[in-house]
């Protein structure tokens, strides 16, 4: 017997300062609260959007991500069809740009999703990513050299700006095929999105749409060994495979997804490891553990939740029935710290997870599972191993409480991380 879901008396606003400041505490509370009926789900709100259910327990989040009845778009006749538009309207976003903000691959369902995913996935297979490793190592070494120079007189170096950001941006730009001259504009776009700086998003978006179109035109005439060339060639062979706008959408998905998340994975991980000297000592003694360590560091952040899903029919979840079309947000971080799944979940244990079966849900699961996982792990592993090997006495240059955090929901990340290198 299941009960029909209905809103709890006090919806939780995921964008409220209290939740943003303490996601671990809030998610633990939500996960364990005796809620209406069976107590596994809460109603939350996001940025003036409609109420949505929050899946917090591991098994529930897994179901939302993998059960084919949960789609990334609401049913066409649903009053909630404008859930994303509502968010953009709340930000006063120009109407004509709203469709460009929807990440086409991420938000596509069914055959459209399969078609687009196939076009992108070939560029990001484990084999292709392994072949990139020497290049990732070289970019890392160059950045470490530059930092060593900056910090040689004992001055603090902000590793978010000098290391965590440029490494993934350079790698993804090379992989996708963004030319050197255009990268500053993509950086501006990345920064605007990272800080959700309303006024600077539209101009940055317009510039990058125009640059994407010019890039496609250049690659049609002068092909290179990059993803843009592969996409325009696939289109030339069969125009039904991908449209121009879809290619632009793919570039945005990759450039955005390819650096934001990885930047903050690396930055947060440095801080985590400095705060867990016993675990860092284990890694220094046994470098083979780095591959496992990045999986554990990924379990604990920086991504808190992913886009809502919409059941295509009434679905039972955690003992309640979620009515068709009602949005459910999968809270990845809450699932990753669920004690039902992970013993002592808030503790960093570098060899907790195996490389073959990492268990956490930080890359999602099911058909939308992250396509950049191999790349993200490789970058994090090379970056963290390289950093702590080159600078074994790395330490915070400011007291812990003075580290500025970007307080935006969905991500937990340090804005800057000033370190003394020796």
Chain contacts with ligand HEM (rule: CB under 6 A):
65, 105-106, 117, 120, 124, 172, 253-254, 257-258, 261-262, 265, 303, 306-307, 362-364, 368, 370-372, 375-376
- Please report how close the Cβ of residue 77 comes to ligand HEM at its closest, in angstroms: 23
3-class SS of residue 301 = coil
Q: Which two tokens stand for residue 236?
A: 């030339």
- Please report how close the Cβ of residue 372 comes to ligand HEM at its closest, in angstroms: 2
- Please report how close the Cβ of residue 272 comes to ligand HEM at its closest, in angstroms: 14
Q: What are phi and psi of 408, to 5 degrees?
A: -135, 140
417 within 8 A of 402, measured Cβ to Cβ: no
Continuous segment of H or E residues that includes residue 311? strand 310-311
- 157-158 vs 310-311, strand pairing mode: unpaired
Q: Give whichever of 363 and 388 is closer to ligand HEM, judged by the CB atom.
A: 363
Q: Give whichever of 70 and 88 is closer to ligand HEM, judged by the CB atom.
A: 70
Residue 141 CB-half CA count within 13 A: 6
- Please report how close the Cβ of residue 1 comes to ligand HEM at its closest, in angstroms: 31
- Please report how close the Cβ of residue 64 comes to ligand HEM at its closest, in angstroms: 9
Q: Is 319 exposed, middle or buried (0-12, 13-18, 19+ CB in 10 A)?
A: middle
Continuous segment of H or E residues that includes residue 147? helix 126-150
Q: Give whichever of 172 and 397 is closer to ligand HEM, judged by the CB atom.
A: 172
- Please report how close the Cβ of residue 120 comes to ligand HEM at its closest, in angstroms: 6
- Please report how close the Cβ of residue 327 comes to ligand HEM at its closest, in angstroms: 12
Q: Name the residue with tokens 């069809």.
A: 81
Q: Give whichever of 371 and 421 is closer to ligand HEM, judged by the CB atom.
A: 371
Q: Give whichever of 120 and 228 is closer to ligand HEM, judged by the CB atom.
A: 120
Please, what sign has the CA dihedral across residues 374, 125, 305, 314? Answer: negative
Q: Minimal CB distance to ligand HEM: which residue?
A: 372
Q: Give whichever of 23 and 258 is closer to ligand HEM, judged by the CB atom.
A: 258
DSSP track, 356-395: S-----TT--GGG--TTHHHHHHHHHHHHHHHHHH-TT-E
3-class SS of residue 71 = strand
Q: Give whichever of 52 and 65 is closer to ligand HEM, judged by the CB atom.
A: 65
Q: Give whichever of 273 and 397 is closer to ligand HEM, judged by the CB atom.
A: 273
Q: What is the C-alpha to C-alpha distance for residues 235 and 242, in angstroms, rounded to an integer?
A: 6
- Specify the DSSP class assigned to residue 161: I
Q: What is the C-alpha to C-alpha distance for residues 209 and 272, in angstroms, rounded to an integer?
A: 37
Q: Give whichever of 315 and 370 is closer to ligand HEM, judged by the CB atom.
A: 370
Q: Give whichever of 168 and 202 is closer to ligand HEM, judged by the CB atom.
A: 168
- 12-13 vs 41-45, strand pairing mode: parallel
CA distance to 54, 112, 295, 310, per residue, from 330 (Å): 6, 22, 20, 11
- Please report how close the Cβ of residue 124 comes to ligand HEM at its closest, in angstroms: 6
- 12-13 vs 52-55, strand pairing mode: unpaired
- Please report how close the Cβ of residue 196 comes to ligand HEM at its closest, in angstroms: 17
- Please report how close the Cβ of residue 92 comes to ligand HEM at its closest, in angstroms: 25
């Amino acid at each position: 017997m299941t009960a029909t879901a209905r809103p709890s008396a006090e919806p939780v606003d995921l964008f409220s300062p209290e939740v943003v400041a303490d996601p671990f505490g809030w998610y633990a509370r939500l996960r364990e609260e005796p809620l209406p009926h069976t107590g596994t789900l809460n109603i939350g709100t996001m940025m003036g959007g409609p109420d949505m259910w929050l899946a917090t327990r591991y098994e529930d989040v897994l179901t939302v991500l993998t059960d084919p009845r949960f789609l990334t778009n609401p049913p066409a006749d649903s009053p909630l069809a404008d859930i994303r538009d509502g968010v953009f309207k709340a930000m006063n976003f120009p109407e004509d740009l709203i469709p460009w903000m929807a990440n086409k691959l991420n938000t596509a369902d069914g055959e459209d999703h399969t078609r687009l995913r196939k076009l992108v996935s070939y560029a990001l297979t484990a084999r292709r990513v392994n072949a990139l490793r020497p290049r990732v190592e070289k970019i890392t070494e160059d950045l470490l050299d530059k930092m060593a120079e900056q910090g040689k007189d004992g001055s603090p170096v902000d590793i978010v700006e000098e290391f965590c950001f440029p490494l993934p941006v350079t790698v993804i730009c090379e992989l996708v095929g963004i030319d050197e001259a255009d990268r500053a504009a993509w950086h501006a776009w990345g920064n605007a999105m990272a800080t959700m700086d309303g006024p600077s998003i539209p101009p940055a978006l317009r510039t990058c749409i125009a640059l994407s179109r010019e890039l496609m035109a250049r690659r049609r005439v002068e092909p290179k060994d990059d993803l843009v060339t592969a996409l325009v060639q696939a289109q030339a062979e069969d125009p039904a495979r991908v449209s121009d706008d879809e290619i632009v959408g793919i570039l945005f998905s990759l450039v955005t997804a390819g650096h934001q998340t990885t930047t903050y994975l690396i930055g947060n991980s440095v801080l985590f490891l400095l705060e867990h000297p016993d675990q860092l000592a284990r890694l220094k003694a046994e470098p083979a553990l780095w591959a496992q360590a990045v999986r554990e560091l990924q379990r604990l952040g920086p991504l808190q939740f992913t886009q809502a899903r919409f059941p295509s029919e009434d679905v039972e979840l955690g003992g309640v029935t979620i009515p068709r079309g009602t949005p459910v947000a999968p809270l990845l971080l809450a699932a990753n710290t669920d004690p039902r799944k992970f013993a002592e979940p808030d503790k960093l244990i570098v060899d907790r997870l195996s490389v073959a079966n990492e268990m956490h849900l930080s890359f999602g699961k099911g058909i939308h599972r992250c396509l950049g996982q191999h790349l993200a792990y490789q970058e994090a592993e090379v970056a963290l191993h390289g950093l702590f090997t080159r600078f074994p006495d790395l330490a915070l240059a400011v007291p812990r409480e003075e580290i500025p955090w970007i307080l935006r929901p969905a991500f937990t990340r340090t804005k800057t991380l000033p370190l003394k290198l020796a």
